[in-house]
């Protein structure tokens, strides 16, 4: 083999294969669509090699070797299903289960538990262990995480996460032998901003999120791939819901954005969906109205207005919604579209490079690319001036903020529009006195796409099943309005709206929802749209 060889030729289960050099057997096998069982291995963490479930047979060793740490080499012959490999893995499974409580029926991990999965493929059908099991602690490790010690297989994924990814080091393994278990230092709970990831990466039911404990069975839940709306980073998430209610949000792998991790705000901040101050019904002048009345009221208020119109969008809106706003704006003779946002949060970055943005809006870049890069700055300033001067006849406000920390001056200005239509997620001072108040969908209820801070366009998907929406979404209402105004024949899906967007805005021209796939695409001019954006007015 030459020194600069770009591939290694080796044999996997009798078949000669080629792989890039330097890979472990497990990594290389995965490239050939063969998943070798693992517990302690995690692609984002250092190799521990302690669980031993990834045993395979090698022509270079009289004993089985662990595929997570052993590397491929020229001429290496690996058997993953030989008698030796199976016996070795079956042994490990038998040992894993002797002190395990086997409490799957009451364990929140059941259904996504790696131990459970491997025990079906590699485990014995009954236990030969008849002795007393070792008992280890069940306790809270932090406000959001508890450990069920008897289930812990001491794979140390969680400990390595806190050492290597967050650098916070709150977790450790205490004691040794079969007494060892994960713990925190007395009085110093695990409370870092990425802590919840340890629950995701726990291969068994040892680390349990307090938030999800006894909430739902994994297999009953609907799983929706989406993007976090907590900040402008756009971490990939999976929303797990039951009967249309979000039960849990977990990280979804995207090597280009968030790798395997999400922050705790993104993970746990969905309770606002059911908050008491959520706007759920339409109202006119403070009086509740039904949905149909609301629709016709919206149509009438807009079509009957011949004066100056202002539209204030928020960067929680999808690209598709923003596109419809643009369309609306262009049908109106005198209309300006500006954008507003809430105050910044706190940025945080971690030793491995993971960062949480201070910009708490998922689609600020989308607003820049679709509405215009000055939407937050000069246009917003202009709109406010017009409002303050009493020049705005009709103002349409979008306030889909889960945590509206809005500038008081803006609220005052809003109040000066002659007629005001508000789409709002929560009730607040900006809703007071509105001529028409309409409920706004939350990010987790939207279908569409967001453009993140790095110019990556990603799909967001609603957790609500088709036909189950409690009220028409902005996407539906805006299209109905456009139809009413004679602008388009009918409503289409968010993908259809995106096609219109792609044909009208250069930056989106090569894209469609299907090209975005599961991990999104970087828009060629997306970055520049982000980079040149001004600050808020």
Partner 1 sequence: MAEITFSKKSLERYEWLLTRYPSKEAVLLPALHLAEEEFENIGVKEMKYVADLIGIPPARVYGVLTFYTHFRRAGCGKYHIQVCSTLSCALRGSHEVYQRISERLGIEAGETTPCGRFTLSKVECLGSCDTAPMLQMNDDYHEGLDLELVDQLIEQWRAELPEGGSS
Partner 2 sequence: MAFKKVLTRHVGKKDCHTLKFYKKQGGYAQAEDAVKNQDPDALIDLVKASNLRGRGGAGFPTGVKWAFVPKHTDKAKYLVVNADESEPGTFKDRVLMEKNPHLLLDGIIICSKAVGIHHAYIYIRGEFVFAYRRLLEAVEEAYSDGLLGKGIFGSNFDLDVTLHRGAGAYICGEETGMLTSLEGKRGEPKLKPPFPAVEGVFGCPTVVNNVETLANLPYILEIGADAYKKIGPEKCPGPKLFCVSGHVENPGTFELPMGVNLLELINKHAGGVWKGRSLKAVIPGGSSAHVLHADECDVAMDIESLDEAGSMLGSAGIIVMDDSTCMVDALLNIMRFYHHESCGQCTPCREGTGWLEKLVHRIASGGGRHEDLQLIQDVCDRMVGKTICALADAAAFPAESIVKKFPEDFLHAIEQGGSPASRNRSRAAVGGGTDV
Residues that bind partner 2 (CB under 8 A): 47, 49-53, 55, 62-64, 69, 88, 91-92, 94-96, 98-99, 128-129, 131-132, 134, 153-154, 173, 175-180
Q: Compute the least distance from the CB of residue 121 to partner 2, in Å.
A: 16
Q: Return d(Cα 183, Cα 162) in angstroms, integer.
A: 12
Q: Which whole-number Å values give the CA distances from 264 to 135, 145, 197, in the listed order?
A: 30, 11, 8
Q: Compute the least distance from the CB of residue 350 to partner 2, in Å.
A: 22
Interacting residue with partner 1 among 27, 70, 108, 170 (CB under 8 A): 170
CB nearer partner 2, residue 179 or residue 385: 179
Q: Compute the least distance from the CB of residue 65 to partner 2, in Å.
A: 10
Helix axes 114-122, 83-98, angle to 10 degrees: 130
CB nearer partner 2, residue 61 or residue 515: 61
β-partners of residue 10 are 17
Q: What is the dihedral sign for C-alpha 219, 225, 228, 234?
A: positive
Positions 101 through 160 that interact with partner 1 (CB under 8 A): 159
CB nearer partner 1, residue 176 or residue 408: 176
- What is the CB neighbour count within 10 angstroms for residue 514? 9
Among partner 2, partner 1, none, the one that 99 touches (CB under a kind-dependent 5 to 8 A) is: partner 2
Among partner 2, partner 1, none, the one that 185 touches (CB under a kind-dependent 5 to 8 A) is: partner 1
Q: Compute the least distance from the CB of residue 186 to partner 2, in Å.
A: 18
Which of the ranges 1-9, 174-182, 432-440, 442-450 carries the binding residues for partner 1, by CB under 8 A? 174-182
Q: Return d(Cα 501, Cα 510) in angstroms, integer.
A: 11
Residue 178 makes contact with partner 1 by CB under 8 A: no
CB nearer partner 1, residue 145 or residue 431: 145
Among partner 2, partner 1, none, the one that 490 touches (CB under a kind-dependent 5 to 8 A) is: none
- Residue 492 backbone dihedrals phi, psi, to 5 degrees: -130, 175
CB nearer partner 1, residue 50 or residue 493: 50
CB nearer partner 1, residue 105 or residue 186: 186
Residue of 47, 39, 37, 89 lying closest to 71 (CA atoms):
47
Positions 383 through 442 that interact with partner 1 (CB under 8 A): none
Q: Which whole-number Å values give the CA distances from 374 to 336, 338, 532, 534, 535, in the listed order?
A: 12, 8, 9, 6, 9
Q: Compute the least distance from the CB of residue 243 to partner 2, in Å.
A: 39
Among partner 1, partner 2, none, the one that 88 touches (CB under a kind-dependent 5 to 8 A) is: partner 2
CB nearer partner 1, residue 1 or residue 188: 188
Residue 176 makes contact with partner 1 by CB under 8 A: yes
Cβ burial 40-77 (10 Å sphere, 16+ → b, else e): bbbebbeebeebbbbbbbbeeeeebbbbbebebeeebe
Q: Return d(Cα 360, Cα 367) in angstroms, integer.
A: 14
Q: Which whole-number Å values give the CA distances from 501 to 100, 336, 507, in the listed order?
A: 55, 19, 10
CA angle 148, 152, 153 (to 5 degrees): 170
SS3 sequence, 336-380? EEEECCCCCCCCEECCCCCEECCCCCCCHHHHHHHCCCCCCCHHH
Q: 11: exposed, middle or buried (C-beta count within 10 Å: 0-12, 13-18, 19+)?
A: middle
Interacting residue with partner 1 among 27, 70, 183, 211 (CB under 8 A): 183
Q: Return d(Cα 60, Cα 66) in angstroms, integer.
A: 12
Residue 185 makes contact with partner 1 by CB under 8 A: yes
Q: Return d(Cα 304, Cα 506) in angstroms, integer.
A: 33
Q: Which whole-number Å values give the CA distances from 283 to 391, 423, 446, in the listed order?
A: 25, 11, 22
CB nearer partner 2, residue 173 or residue 218: 173
CB nearer partner 2, residue 129 or residue 272: 129
Among partner 2, partner 1, none, the one that 168 touches (CB under a kind-dependent 5 to 8 A) is: partner 1
CB nearer partner 1, residue 66 or residue 162: 162
Q: Compute the least distance from the CB of residue 143 to partner 1, in Å.
A: 17
Q: Compute the least distance from the CB of residue 189 to partner 1, in Å.
A: 10
Q: What is the CA radius of gyration of the chain?
A: 27
Q: Report yes or no: 509 and 503 within 8 Å, Cβ to Cβ.
A: yes
Q: Compute the least distance from the CB of residue 187 to partner 1, in Å.
A: 7
CB nearer partner 1, residue 60 or residue 139: 139
Interacting residue with partner 1 among 115, 171, 338, 387 (CB under 8 A): 171
Total binding residues for partner 1 by CB under 8 A? 16
Which of the ranges 77-85, 170-178, 411-419, 445-453 carries the binding residues for partner 1, by CB under 8 A? 170-178
Cβ neighbours for 255, distance < 8 A, ≥ 6 positions apart: 519
Among partner 1, partner 2, none, the one that 20 touches (CB under a kind-dependent 5 to 8 A) is: none
Give the pair of three-digit tokens for residue 234: 């756009």
**Contact set with partner 1 (CB under 8 A):** 159, 168-176, 183-188
């Amino acid at each position: 083999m030459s020194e600069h060889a770009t591939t290694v030729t080796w044999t996997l289960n009798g078949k000669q294969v080629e792989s890039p050099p330097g890979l472990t057997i497990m990594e290389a096998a995965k490239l050939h669509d063969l998943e070798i069982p693992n517990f302690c291995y995690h692609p984002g963490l250092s190799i521990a090699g302690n669980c031993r479930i990834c045993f395979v047979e090698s022509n270079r060793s009289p004993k089985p070797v662990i595929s997570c740490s052993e590397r491929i080499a020229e001429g290496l012959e690996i058997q993953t299903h030989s008698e030796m490999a199976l016996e070795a893995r079956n042994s490990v499974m038998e040992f894993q289960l002797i002190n395990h409580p086997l409490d799957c029926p009451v364990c929140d991990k059941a259904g996504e538990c790696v131990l459970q999965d491997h025990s079906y493929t590699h485990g014995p059908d009954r236990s030969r262990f008849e002795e007393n099991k070792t008992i280890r602690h069940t306790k809270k490790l932090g406000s959001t995480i508890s450990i069920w010690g008897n289930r812990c297989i001491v794979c140390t994924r969680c400990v390595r996460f806190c050492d290597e990814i967050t650098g916070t080091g709150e977790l450790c393994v205490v004691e040794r032998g079969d007494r060892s278990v994960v713990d925190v230092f007395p009085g110093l709970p695990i409370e870092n901003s990425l802590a919840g990831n340890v629950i995701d990466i726990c291969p068994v039911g040892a680390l349990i999120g307090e938030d999800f404990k006894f909430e739902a069975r994994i297999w009953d839940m609907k799983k929706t791939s989406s993007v976090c709306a907590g900040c402008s980073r756009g971490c990939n998430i999976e929303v797990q819901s039951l009967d249309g209610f979000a039960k849990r949000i977990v990280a979804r792998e995207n090597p280009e954005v968030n790798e395997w991790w999400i922050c705790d705000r993104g993970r746990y901040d969905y309770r606002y969906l059911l908050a008491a101050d959520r706007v759920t019904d339409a109202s006119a002048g403070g009086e509740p109205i039904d949905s149909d009345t609301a629709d016709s009221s919206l149509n009438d208020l807009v079509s009957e207005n011949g004066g100056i119109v202002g539209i204030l969008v928020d960067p929680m809106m999808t690209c598709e919604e923003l596109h419809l706003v643009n369309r609306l704006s262009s049908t109106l003779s005198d209309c300006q579209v500006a954008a507003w946002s809430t105050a910044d949060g706190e940025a945080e970055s971690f030793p491995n490079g993971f960062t949480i943005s201070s910009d708490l809006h998922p689609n600020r870049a989308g607003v820049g690319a679709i509405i215009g890069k000055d939407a937050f700055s000069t246009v917003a300033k202009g709109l406010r001036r017009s409002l303050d001067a009493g020049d705005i006849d009709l103002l349409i406000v979008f306030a889909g903020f889960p945590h509206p920390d809005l500038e008081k001056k803006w609220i005052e200005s809003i109040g000066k529009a002659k007629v005001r239509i508000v789409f709002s997620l929560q009730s607040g001072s900006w809703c007071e006195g509105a001529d028409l108040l309409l409920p706004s969908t939350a990010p987790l209820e939207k279908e569409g796409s967001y453009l993140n801070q790095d110019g990556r366009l990603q799909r967001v998907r609603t957790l609500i099943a088709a036909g189950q929406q409690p009220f028409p979404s902005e996407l539906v209402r805006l299209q109905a309005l456009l139809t009413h105004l004679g602008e388009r024949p009918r409503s289409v899906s968010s993908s259809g709206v995106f096609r219109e967007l792609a044909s009208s805005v250069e930056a989106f021209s090569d894209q469609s929802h299907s090209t975005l796939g599961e991990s999104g695409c970087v828009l060629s001019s997306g970055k520049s749209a982000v980079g040149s954006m001004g600050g808020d007015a």
